[in-house]
Amino acid sequence: MQIIPSIDLRRGKVVKLVGGVPDSEVFQSSSPVSLLEHWESQGARRIHVVDLDSAFGEPSSENWDALEVLLSSATAKIQVGGGIRNSEAVVKYLDMGADAVIVSTIIFKDRGIFEQLTASFPDKVAASIDYERDRVKVSGWREEGSSVPEKVAAECDALPLHSIIITDISREGRLKGVDSPRIRAVRKTVRHPLSVAGGISSADDIASLMECGVDGAILGRMLYDKRASLSELIKEFAKTGSRYEWS
């Protein structure tokens, strides 16, 4: 199980939103690189970075500057997402040093481009499937799709992906625990590494994810609220529960 801290960027600052709702911050830091260095000092080998402004359709120069600094400074592997919908964006991030890029909306809005990206950049594109109740959400979580997450995951799994990420929006930033039945259903449909975000609040939740066969736990508010030590979680879980070596 890989323990993956998250860094969400809004106008150049690190924020933690509740349910992805703008201006619902429960955490804010003006220094993304300091936070990056902190997570790395705690033993993080992979960090999940999201450009919220681009995800919301409001790209900002502040976030772009922050991303450039993060990607040039990192010793950990960085997977970055938020508003990535074409090959030019993928190339930019990979050239800047990203280990993987995360796409979501184009999975639903332009399947052809999504499949082309995975073919052009094999093992470098992660498919992010965000859902609330039984339906996927797209466009910065503002639009509801018609599919259930496990069906989308199964359709994506045939492609040469880096990984699949699922996020329960109803739990995101709320520390409400994990949706084990849904996670198990998704796990049964995919062969790629599977990471989960949303609702993780304790070591017990991470243990539940392991029991579901999850390979990565993406942590946000749990760490920002200091409910657990990243270094201790890594010691406890990093060497167990995954079929994949994500160096």
| Catalytic site residue from 53, 99, 130, 168 | 130
Tokens representing 165 are 């990420």
Tokens representing 15 are 């924020």
CA distances from 66 to 6, 22, 51, 57 (A): 14, 19, 9, 17
| Catalytic site residue from 8, 53, 168, 179 | 8
Would you call 8 a catalytic residue per the annotation? yes
Distance CA 7, CA 91 (A): 21
CA distances from 67 to 31, 101, 166, 219 (A): 12, 13, 23, 19
Q: Three-state DSSP class for 243?
A: coil
Give the count of alpha carbons within 13 A of 214, CB side only: 31
Is-contact 40 75, C-beta < 8 A?
yes
Q: Which residues are catalytic, by number?
A: 8, 130
